Amino acid sequence: MIVRLLQSLQSRIVIFFLVLLALVQGVALALLQKANERNARQHIRQELAVGERIFRRLSEQNAGRLTQAVEILALDFAFRQAVATHDLPTIQSVLLNHGARIQADRMALIALDRRLITDSLDPQSAGRAFALPQLVEAAERDGRATGIVMHGTRAYQVVLVPVLAPTPIAWAMFGLLVDDRLAKDVRTVSALDVAFFGRTAGEPWTPLGATVSASLQDRFAHALEAPQRTVLELDENHALVIPLTAYQADVVAVLSSSMEEAMAPFQQLGTLLVVLVAGSLAACVVGSIFIARGVTRPLSALGEMTRRMEQGDYAQPVELTGPHEVSELAHRFNLMREAIAAREAQVTRLAYRDPLSDLPNRTLFNDRLRVAIEVAKRSATAVTVLLMDLDRFKNINDALGHHIGDLVLQQVAQRLTGLVRKSDTTARLGGDEFAVLLNSAGVEEAHSVAQKIVALLEQPIEVSQQTLDVSASIGVAGFPAHGEDADTLMRHADAAMYAAKRANIGVAVYDPHMHERREEELSLLSELRQAIDWGELRLVYQPKVDLSRGELMGVEALVRWQHPTKGLVPPDRFIPFAEETGFVRTITSWVIDAAVKQAAAWRAAGRPLKVSVNISVHDLQNPELVEVLTASLERHRLPASQLLLEITESGVMRDAARAIEMLKRVDEVGVGCAIDDFGTGYSSLAYIKQLKVDELKIDRSFIRTLVSDPKDRAIVLSTIDLAHNLGLVVVAEGVEDGASAQLLRELGCDQMQGYHVSQPLDAAAFETWAAARAAGRRSSIS
Ligand code: C2E
Ligand code: CA
Ligand code: CA
């Protein structure tokens, strides 16, 4: 508890000031007390010294009074008469008379022979010897004597003078009692307490009269020693011992003053000071609590703000008033809070938004999908995911650059968001992949939305004054029909999307069968690596014939995979994967060698044929490609002019500089080159001119609609013109009917290839086909 208290800043401040102040005040009080004591002691000393002088004056006055009275008595004629005549009654009455006038306590008359004539204290003493012969001796010597004398336990201040007639006839003595009354008189004028003590030889000190208590008198009596002028200090009482002139006894007066009394005025001041100290301590506690609050309150307010910020609440500013340091600090904190909030908002944006399209990204999409599924579960409604991938987007990127690609993606994003409802989520998952989350939409409704999207994207996109055709494939998967959780739905939508792409049908709704195919593709990939070693790859050959004369010009070698269980696998099913993994180089090397070997065999059989081999864009990056070519040609002794490489237009455009370089080297060793699938790759004339190519193959998508679509016809015609201008041979791919062949012939195309001529055939079948065709041609000529 105490430890906790000490940990708080506020109590530390309070305790510090409290202790400091208490210490300072305490020391001050102690010093003051010391000084007071010293002062008081000094004060008492002075008082006592003054008191002594006053006391002596008083004694002298008394003595003077006595002297005067006794001298007047001695001059009294009647009195002298009575003394001379020993008239005792007259003597006694005159003595009393004169004594009463000055309130004397003792009156006596002593004969010259030192016998008492009369003593007011003791009427029986007449005729006895006077007990104080020294007093008489002193009077004989000095003419009179004064001093104190003891009588029993009482003391008297006496004056003795001779009665002259005119020679001394007797001694007259008056005395005043040394008692409480005298003490009071002394006190009245000196403001000091006084006590008288006396003793006769061998007796202890007896109190004679005092203004102090009996117990204090006892203590003084105890402390008294010889009758000397000394200072006595008895605890609180300081006293001055004054010896008095006495005959046949010791008598002292003790003037005293108590420290308590002397300190009294200081004591009052001290009490006032203690009250002041207590007051200032209380004020200090209150004040320091107040100041400490001033420090700790902003601190805890700021602490509270940081706690809120920790919990993600940046909205509330901290509001502090007070000293300007505090409000400045609060201002800084608020600035910091705003900066953090802004930065966090940006981080959140970066984490959940795709910066290019400003659409939600995959993370946010998955989040929303999960939430939507939870909601749908509870409300028993449906949620559907559309997964969309642009077709051949890679070509746009490769051919026109990433900047154009980005613009296309932005436009696609705009079209998508314009189409779906506000409550739905459109996201860009990455690359050219988009997804749409349709809340409370069944699969059927989703399918129609997907078709609308496909139709919308079919409208050409204008970017940087170019018109581009973009198409998309969409996979549809819905909860609860196709999956219970987000991951499953996404996977199934992906499978459906691939199926749509493969079948080129725009939109496909998921069915379990698709999923199997996708899985199968993945397992194929791992088997592909062994396919070459196990001799599972084959080549088939598709003839290319001259359009005007019908002559067989060469063959295109196309790879097939004779899978042990799955049968013949077409290249579209495994070449893309092989490209992804780089394994395609191994395949290319195998294909080149097999094709060169076959061409050499035909040449040896007296039927030389040019063989075209497809190479992938990855092969362009293979620095050993030329060595692979020359090694094969050498091994099988085939002239380089018998071999032709086909590289797609989009492949060339992906890395034009490298393509130019590679094709130059291929040309140097005498191997020919063809640009494949021309018309789909957005190539520019400038590049084509720089490429060392011999042949241009117009993509079969243009040939398919050649007869029906005048636009395609125009494209094909201009392509043929362009190619001829550059000195290239033009080959039409995918010619499936005679009408197309006829049209191409009219347009001036050089060669054709397609089912109209022949399907791709294995070597044996091709030989049979070629022989039959040669025979047919011969017979038709003859
Ligand atoms: P491609 O180079 O355009 O090959 C021509 C494709 O068109 C072949 O498909 C062929 O069977 C098909 N075809 C021929 N005539 C017609 C026709 O009249 N109508 C239609 N609709 N199609 C026709 P295939 O053999 O399935 O090859 C597909 C693609 O696979 C090829 O397109 C080529 O790009 C790639 N490919 C084939 N063999 C290899 C190879 O050995 N290496 C590499 N890298 N790619 C290859
Ligand atoms: Ca080809
Ligand atoms: Ca082609």
Distance 562 CA to ligand 1 centre (A): 16
The chain-wide mean pLDDT, for the chain, equals 88
The Cα 120–Cα 669 span in angstroms is 175
Predicted local distance difference test score (pLDDT) of residue 34: 87
Predicted local distance difference test score (pLDDT) of residue 631: 97
Angstrom distances, CA of residue 547 to CA of 64, 285, 641, 676 = 178, 112, 21, 18
Residue range 172-212, pLDDT digits in tens: 999 999 999 989 988 888 888 999 999 988 788 999 999 98
Q: From atom 17 of ligand 1, which residue's Cα is the shortest distance away?
A: 734
Identify which ligand lies nearest to the alpha carbon of 679: 3
Distance 556 CA to ligand 1 centre (A): 9
646 Cα nearest atom in ligand 1 = 2
CB-based pocket (< 6 A), ligand 1: 542, 558-559, 570-572, 575, 588, 591, 614-616, 646, 676-677, 700, 733-736, 754-755, 760
Distance 252 CA to ligand 3 centre (A): 151
The Cα 766–Cα 601 span in angstroms is 13
Residue 382 — φ and ψ, nearest 5°? -110, 155
Predicted local distance difference test score (pLDDT) of residue 713: 92
Predicted local distance difference test score (pLDDT) of residue 203: 85
The Cα 272–Cα 294 span in angstroms is 32
Mean pLDDT on 244-269: 84
Distance 392 CA to ligand 1 centre (A): 17
Q: From atom 4 of ligand 1, which residue's Cα is the shortest distance away?
A: 558
The Cα 241–Cα 187 span in angstroms is 15
Mean pLDDT on 692-712: 92
Predicted local distance difference test score (pLDDT) of residue 401: 86
Mean pLDDT on 463-471: 84
Is the pLDDT at 527 greater than 80? The verdict is yes
Distance 337 CA to ligand 1 centre (A): 63
Identify which ligand lies nearest to the alpha carbon of 699: 3
Mean pLDDT on 43-59: 88
Distance 699 CA to ligand 3 centre (A): 6
> Best substitution site from 544, 614, 644, 758 to test ligand 1's pocket, by max atoms within 8 Å of Cβ?
614
Q: From atom 15 of ligand 1, which residue's Cα is the shortest distance away?
A: 754
Mean pLDDT on 154-169: 88
The Cα 490–Cα 496 span in angstroms is 10
Stronger pLDDT, 293 or 485, i.e. the higher one: 485
Is the pLDDT at 782 greater than 70? The verdict is no
Give me 231's structure tokens: 């200072």
Q: From atom 34 of ligand 1, which residue's Cα is the shortest distance away?
A: 614
Predicted local distance difference test score (pLDDT) of residue 472: 92
Q: From atom 33 of ligand 1, which residue's Cα is the shortest distance away?
A: 614
| Residue (of 581, 658, 580) closest to 623 by Cα position | 658
Mean pLDDT on 554-580: 89
Give the model's confidence band at 458: pLDDT under 50 very low, under 70 low, under 90 confident, else very high: confident
Burial class (CB in 10 A: 0-12, 13-18, 19+), 98: buried
Distance 207 CA to ligand 3 centre (A): 151
736 Cα nearest atom in ligand 1 = 18
Is the pLDDT at 89 greater than 80? The verdict is yes
Predicted local distance difference test score (pLDDT) of residue 753: 97
Lowest mean pLDDT among 218-222, 232-236, 450-454, 702-706: 232-236
Mean pLDDT on 399-424: 90
Predicted local distance difference test score (pLDDT) of residue 708: 92
What is the chain's Cα-based Rg?
70
Q: From atom 11 of ligand 1, which residue's Cα is the shortest distance away?
A: 760
Mean pLDDT on 459-467: 85
Residue range 740-766, pLDDT digits in tens: 999 999 999 999 999 999 999 999 999
Identify which ligand lies nearest to the alpha carbon of 697: 3
Q: From atom 25 of ligand 1, which residue's Cα is the shortest distance away?
A: 558
**Under a CB-based contact definition with an 8 Å cutoff, are residues 147 and 247 in contact?**
yes
615 Cα nearest atom in ligand 1 = 44
Mean pLDDT on 343-360: 87
- In the numeric block, the tokens 């030192």 are attached to 114
Mean pLDDT on 21-43: 85
Predicted local distance difference test score (pLDDT) of residue 684: 66
Mean pLDDT on 414-422: 90
With a pLDDT cut of 70, the percent of the chain lying above it is 97
Identify which ligand lies nearest to the alpha carbon of 594: 1
Distance 645 CA to ligand 1 centre (A): 14
Q: Which residues surround ligand 3, an ion (CB under 5 A)?
A: 676-677, 733
Q: 3-class secondary structure for 153-218? A: CEEEEEEEEEEECCCEEEEEEEEEEECHHHHHHHHHHHCCEEEEEEECCCCCCEEEEECCCHHHHH
- In the numeric block, the tokens 């006839």 are attached to 169
Distance 753 CA to ligand 3 centre (A): 10
Predicted local distance difference test score (pLDDT) of residue 781: 63
Distance 96 CA to ligand 3 centre (A): 173
Lowest mean pLDDT among 451-460, 573-582, 595-604: 573-582
The Cα 657–Cα 663 span in angstroms is 10
**Under a CB-based contact definition with an 8 Å cutoff, are residues 679 and 688 in contact?**
no
Predicted local distance difference test score (pLDDT) of residue 642: 97
